[in-house]
Structure 1
Amino acid sequence: MSRNRERVIETVENVFSQSEKIAPEDMMFSYKGVLYPAVLSSPETLEALKSFETRSDDVILAGYPKTGTNWLGEIMRELESTDAKYTEEEMKERINAEKKLETFSRLEFGDPGIYERMKKLPSRRIIVTHLPPPLLPPSILQSKAKILVLVRNPKDTAVSYYHFYNSMPVLPSFSSWDEYFAAFMNGKVTWGSYIHHLVEWNKYIDDERIMMISYEELKEDQILGMKRIAAFFRFNLCEEDFIRIAQMTTFQAMKEKSKETHGKFGDILFRKGVVGNWRDLFSKAQNEEMDQKFEDCLGGTKLAAKMKYDMYCKA
């Protein structure tokens, strides 16, 4: 599964240990009006991010938290390494280089020196981020690198993020779903408003270097989704490769191995992985509020059609 399990588990344990010493009011910081977890990043890191140098062959995955980026990130790593056919020595070199990063594999995480260290990673680099376009380093949107944007229906995203928030030691918990829902709708959660995130990516939906894929379509037919991703990045795999990777990266397979791949973080990261779980928590008024917000901000857009909002978000 993970190319560097030891690094992931060690980093998780270190982060969880640090969070025990932080008061809830100090767990987040604001940068350009958006909240971020203080134990994972800093204003100085996000300032340093502006100078990040993208390579034309970087493989970039962008998605708001809890839209499925851990799942799709693992799929992409399997697709990329299968296409590249790394030798044992090359894979060892990549693992050692990743270990020296000393952080999680999210572009906005780490100390301000992370971007200098990333220059030492061998190509192709797989870069995952939760940031929307306005907060990405200019080089990403100006380069020839291709970007895969993952979206998920906002109701399931909200519910998944709620459970994540209340289980994650580095984030302050909410006392109730209603309190959280108000914060989510107003962008008062880490990484800000999900609807705003979607609005910003919709501006790039016709860019040939950017591909949009939904969590729901991957759940409907993972192999078809992987074939579309492989074609976009020009990865060359055979039918047997797709079948093998699909079997390795089902939600259940990853959940069962989560202790081994992510340590204590596994139980938090892999909860249900289903579509439609929002019905367990949304009230009638909350349904209507989300429907109206989505319609006001994204109604009639290509991204809204891509997300099939009426199919997945109407009671």
Structure 2
Amino acid sequence: MAEKAFLEEEFVKGFYHYKGVKFNKFFIPPANLDAMATFEVRPDDIFLVTFPKCGTHWSAEIINLILTGGDPEKIDRSRQEAPLEMSYPKDKSNLTLLEPFHLKLASLEGCRVILTHLPEQLLPSQVFSKKPKVIYVTRNPKDCCVSLYHAMSRLVQSDWNVHAEEWIKQDDLMGGGFFTHILSFWKYRHEPNFLYMKYEDMKKDPRGSIIRFADHLERPLSDEELDRVVHHSELKNMKKTYDNIEKKTPDGKFLTKAMGKSPFIRKGQIGDWKNHFTVAQNEAFDAVIQQNLHGTGLTFDYE
């Protein structure tokens, strides 16, 4: 309880704006964002870019399973304890002390799968000059809104109506507006090193989506390997994998939950927004969606 109270206090008092984008200085201090300007990108890096709660860890699991031939036991999860821009608890016994994760990433050898929620303008510039493989995954905004609410409520006290109103306004969301984020990367969808994916498409055709991932990464899979990736990336099987990780070590929960508290996997459903939005909230949000996506060619499935 003391740690949750500390996190709530830091979260409430720690907001700041960096180049017009809202962040929390405890989890993402300004120095972390300053470091992005000189972060060394390697040609064999794989960047997974998402707005928070758009299928980040599911997509990361697919990528890692592709790289290991479908064997979850071969995944080194310590290489992805946090997104690039965040700080993380290196000492798991003290959540009040965090260290920049980009420093750990810089020390890693071999192919790095780098997770990030940064908006386009704050990504390391070398992502665009060195052109590593980039996979961008997005999700319908209603389910994203609900999933983010549940994720945050495990860390700090949250109110659904306040959260929904912030999403309807879209003017000062943490990490930047949802629509600004997804549309800024939408324009790169035809670039050879970019793959733009939607969560709903992945749910409806997981096998075909995994093939798209593998083709983009130039990591062809045998039929047997593909079957394994499909099997182990099913959310029910991911939950089993995560349960095993947590059982192996007291610190295992830090590889399956944000700050060891907020699970990376919840329902993973399309349409859970119907259990949360009031009629008025849904109508207001529909207007926001129409305003932001009309004419862009980007559409979503909501059920």
The two structures have a TM-score, normalised by structure 1, of 0.79
From 64, 67, 73, the equivalent of 2:60 is 73
- Correspondences of 1:76-115 after superposition (within 5 Å): 76-82=63-69, 95=76, 104-110=81-87, 114-115=101-102
SS in 2 for 1:21: helix
Q: Distance in 1 between matches of 2:147 and 2:263?
A: 10
AA in 1 matched with 2:63: M
More displaced stretch, 25-34 vs 269-278: 25-34
**How far off its partner does 1:140 sit?**
0.7
AA in 1 matched with 2:139 = R
What are the residue-to-residue correspondences of 1:16-31 with 2, within 5 Å? 20-22=5-7, 23=9, 24-31=11-18
- How far, CA to CA, are the matches of 1:53 and 1:82 in structure 2? 28
Looking at structure 1, the residues matched to 69 and 198 of structure 2 have their Cα atoms a distance apart, in angstroms, of 23
Q: Is the 8 A contact 1:27 1:37 kept in 2?
A: yes
Deviations 1:176-217 (A, max 9, x none): x22111112324442231111112112222222211111111
Rounded to whole Å, the distance in 2 between the matches of 1:283 and 1:147 is 36
Query: Which residue of structure 2 aligns with residue 62 of structure 1?
Result: 49
Distance in 1 between residues matched to 2:234 and 2:262, nearest whole Å: 16
Identify the match of residue 269 of structure 1 among 255, 258, 264.
Answer: 264
* Aligned residues between the structures: 278
Counterpart-to-counterpart distance in 2, 1:67 and 1:40: 19
Mapped partners of 1:156, 1:114: distance in 2? 28
Task: Answer yes or no: is 1:190 the counterpart of 2:174.
Answer: yes
- Kindly indicate whether residue 287 of structure 2 is the aligned counterpart of residue 292 of structure 1: yes
**Cα shift at 1:60:** 1.1
Show structure 1 runs of 5+ residues with no match: 1-15
Conserved 8 A contact 2:36-2:122: no
Matches within 5 A, 1:110-259: 110=87, 114-167=101-154, 169=155, 172-175=156-159, 177-185=160-168, 186-259=170-243
Matched, 1:279 2:269: no
Task: Report if aligned partners of 1:63, 1:69 keep a CA contact under 8 Å in 2.
Answer: yes
Note if contact 1:258-1:267 (Cα within 8 Å) is conserved in structure 2. no
Specify the code of the residue in structure 2 equivalent to 1:196.
Answer: T
Residues of 1 paired with 2:100 and 2:152: CA distance? 28
Structure 2 stretches lacking a partner, 5+ long: 88-97, 246-251
Q: Is the 8 A contact 1:44 1:112 kept in 2?
A: no
Distance change >3 Å, CA 17–CA 234, structure 1 → 2: farther
**Does the CA-based 8 Å contact 1:48-1:112 persist in structure 2?**
no
Name the Cα RMSD after superposition. 2.7
Partner of 2:22, secondary structure, is strand
- What secondary structure sits across from 1:119 in the alignment? helix
Query: 2:84 touches 2:105 (CA, 8 Å); kept in 1?
Result: no
Specify the SS of the correspondent of 2:134.
strand
- Report the 3-state secondary structure (helix = DSSP H, G, I; strand = E; otherwise coil) of the residue aligned with 1:191: coil
Q: Is the 8 A contact 2:48 2:134 kept in 1?
A: yes
Contact (CA 8 Å) 1:148, 1:212: kept in 2 or not?
A: yes
Conserved 8 A contact 1:45-1:112: no
Distance 1:109 1:18, change over 3 A: farther
Residues 7-65 of structure 1 show CA distances to partners (whole Å, capped at 9, x for unaligned) of: xxxxxxxxx97654341523544323333344332111111111111111111110111
How far off is 1:132 after superposition? 1.8
State the TM-score, normalizing by the size of structure 2: 0.82
Contact 2:85 2:116 in 1 (8 A): yes
Comparing 52-61 and 109-118, the one that deviates more: 109-118
The amino acid that maps onto 2:84 is L
| CA distance in structure 1 between the aligned counterparts of 2:173 and 2:81, rounded to whole angstroms | 20
Secondary structure, aligned partner of 1:161: helix
8 Å contact 2:32–2:86 — kept in the other structure? yes
SS in 2 for 1:163: helix
Matched residues, percent identical?
27
Supply the AA of the counterpart residue of 1:285.
Answer: A
Task: Specify which structure has the higher proportion of helix.
Answer: 1
CA contact (8 A) 1:156 1:276 kept: yes
